[in-house]
Amino acid sequence: QTLAELGYEDGLYPESKQVHVKAPVFSFTKLAKVDSLLGPEMKSTGEVMGTDATLEKALYKAFEASYLHLPNFGNVVFTIADE
């Protein structure tokens, strides 16, 4: 039987006001013989999630949980493709 047939309606829980960010974890010590340059395969060894009320805080928590500590100054390069 489907959930609808069992009497359940859409949305078992109220929609969350939280923002969730999933981020990969890279362990270059575990991948010692693998090219450390990140390519399309993104050789991650796990994932973490940051959750908070705002995107900025959730993203920061995801970076911290993946041991990717961001400096307080300097430049950051983001590359984004819409393909």
pLDDT band at 35 (very low <50, low <70, confident <90, very high): low
Q: What is the mean pLDDT of residues 9-30?
A: 80
Determine the pLDDT at residue 19: 96
One DSSP character per residue, 30-75 reads TTTTS--S--TT---SEEEEEEESSHHHHHHHHHHHTT-PPPSSS-
Determine the pLDDT at residue 58: 96
